[in-house]
Structure 1
Amino acid sequence: MGKIEEISEEEARKISEEQLETVSSDEDWEDVETFEEKFEALKELIPFTIRKTFSGTAAWFLSSTAIFVVLPVLFFAEEENHFEEQLQEHKERLKRQRSLLHPDLYDLPKVDIPAPHF
């Protein structure tokens, strides 16, 4: 077990100044870990069984989120596109009908409709 001994204030200041000098040296900061090294260290800390469970949980979370959030948005966007296409087709039909009634008002070519014979 460690031994505790009392030191004077001057000795404490001297020790703290020495510690500050060693900490502030540039040599300590040259050996900085990269992201990959930190990630590998974390993998070593967490056991494989827990990592496997977490990855399964994360996959389940992402897939269920996609089902409940992303798919309805996609369906809504598809429905909106379908509605826009129907609206455009309806406008085209109305324009053709009006061009038959008043061909001079529209830029469409004149269509000759034979008169019905009674």
Structure 2
Amino acid sequence: RGPVLIHCAAGKDRTGILAALTHHVAGVSDDDVIDDYLLTNDPVRFERRGPKFMEIIHELTGRTPTEAAVRAAMGVEAQYLAAAFAAMKDQFGSLDGYLEQAVGLNADTREAVRAHILL
């Protein structure tokens, strides 16, 4: 019991999808899930981490990426999450179908998670 931290050092997309699925389980509306996902694009995040990201790319490749390229790599678009959700729905019929068949969270487990989140 208690708070949970979802973190991936180099996986904003995996982390974002996991957070979005967690929101779905909690009953958050699709529009609010997208709005939360788009918070990844916070300009302060780029200001804080962008220069280091550019430096690492330069060290690894000998080339300096443009700021626009780094912003694109560090950012997200609503269509990214929409495409991930569409693929889950196409293959499993629904997000709940994905959670049950691919992840192993049946309806009872999802309800227990929802109740825990909404305490």
TM-score (norm 2): 0.25
Greater Rg by CA: 1
Higher relative contact order (CA 8 A, sep 6+): 2
